[in-house]
Amino acid sequence: MMRRNLASLMILGAAHSLNHSFFLVLPPLLSDITAELNASFQSMGVVATVGFFIYGFGALIGGPLSDMIGEVKVTRLSVILSGASSFIFMFANDLLTFGVAIFIMSLWASFYHPTSNNLIYRAFPVNTAGAMGIHGAAGSIGQMFTPTLAYLIGKTLNWRFAYVSLGIFSVVTGLLMSRIPEPQSKASRSKASFMDLLKLRKIWILILYNIIGGLYFRGVELFFPSFLSLRRGFSGEIAALSNSLVLLFGVVGQLLGGKASDKYGSARMIIVFSLGVVVSLLLLLLLPTSLIGIGIFIVLYGICYFGHQPAMTSLIGLVSPSRLLGAAYGATFFFAFGLGSVSTTLAGYLAENFNLEISFWLMTAFAIVALLISLVIPKMVKK
């Protein structure tokens, strides 16, 4: 049974990689896409905000739906249809059509995270954070190649083919997921109530942390390659490679975060990783002419941001009733990736009217707030 669960975890890792990769095509090709569609950074930031908001909002549907009809069914639906929707980009010749493609793709992709986390938590009742870390690391291994490959495909062929290539792999992965067994849940399948979930005081501190974390992460994810190109003078190839390196160290972070959280406690590790994120952003900004600052940022930010994820997902499962597990993952994902997506519009506005340096100072401020909130989490969870 354990071997079958591990095989399922690897398939989910591939699906996880593709789910995120759809959103990693835009950053390295941002300049090309905005030029061809005659769009500005600010307008593209708005499109990205809408896409990320839907990516988070759909989790409110996908999470409870998995509680009712089964995690595997909903996960397959998400992976196959998000992949199929990528073909809409072939017809995107203006900003409106591009926005529609982002909207539809984001909606189907949004079902994945709360459902897969629900599935893993039920399938791995022991060493849960470790399983979450493996799932995250497997996803990050694929993700780390996406910015560079998307850039090469976009430059060699066209940026549209970067989206379609991922879509084909996503559909194939979704078909393979028919081999994943549906976990046996001790709780009966029933309609999950968000009102019941929101009555849990412990979940609110985790929701607040996820909102602030989403605010800095989305802004950094979208604009980091452009920041390196426009503010630090690096070529597009080096900027795309740097984005991939962040994800490479994210693999280390996922594995380290999962094991450390099972050993030392998820709440404690969230504080450690939150501190690391703040330090990495400060070094990036305060050492503007030094490769050392950029290098430390890539390593430290990659490890610490992605390292906190298995800790957070296991902690959410720990404080949530079994019958509301999908709803809990859906709610926290929405607040992190839905409401957190506002930062792409804010960062785009500041970049357009001032510069990307100001945008990254805003992201750093959000990271500091997240660190302060993390200091409260151990006491709240203990209560």
Cβ atoms of 330 and 56 within 8 Å: the answer is: no
- How is residue 221 annotated by DSSP? H
Q: Alpha carbon of 283 to those of 274, 280, 291, 298: distances in Å?
A: 15, 5, 10, 10
Q: What is the reported pLDDT for 243?
A: 78
CA within 13 Å, CB half, 130:
10
Residue 315's H or E segment, with its range, is helix 291-319
SS3 for 335? Answer: helix
**DSSP code string of 144-201:** TTHHHHHHHHHHHT-HHHHHHHHHHHHHHHHHHGGGSPPPPPSSPP----HHHHHT-H
Q: Alpha carbon of 126 to those of 10, 68, 121, 122: distances in Å?
A: 18, 24, 9, 10
Domains and CATH numbers, the chain: 2-175+192-382 (1.20.1250.20)
Q: What is the reported pLDDT for 226?
A: 82
Query: What contacts 282, CB < 8 A, 6 or more positions away?
Result: 364
Sign of CA dihedral 286, 217, 328, 137: negative
Cβ atoms of 324 and 185 within 8 Å: the answer is: no
Q: pLDDT 10s per residue in the chain (383 long)?
A: 445 667 788 888 889 889 988 988 888 888 889 889 998 888 888 888 788 888 888 888 888 888 788 888 999 999 999 999 999 999 999 999 999 999 999 999 999 988 888 888 877 777 777 888 888 887 777 777 787 888 899 989 899 999 999 999 999 999 998 888 777 654 445 555 566 666 777 788 888 898 888 888 878 887 888 888 888 877 777 887 887 788 889 889 988 988 898 888 888 999 999 999 999 999 988 886 667 888 899 999 999 999 998 888 888 887 777 777 777 888 877 877 666 667 777 877 887 788 888 989 999 999 999 999 999 888 877 66
Q: What is the reported pLDDT for 1?
A: 41
Q: What is the reported pLDDT for 186?
A: 46
Q: What is the reported pLDDT for 341?
A: 67
Q: Alpha carbon of 180 to those of 123, 177, 234, 330: distances in Å?
A: 11, 5, 44, 21
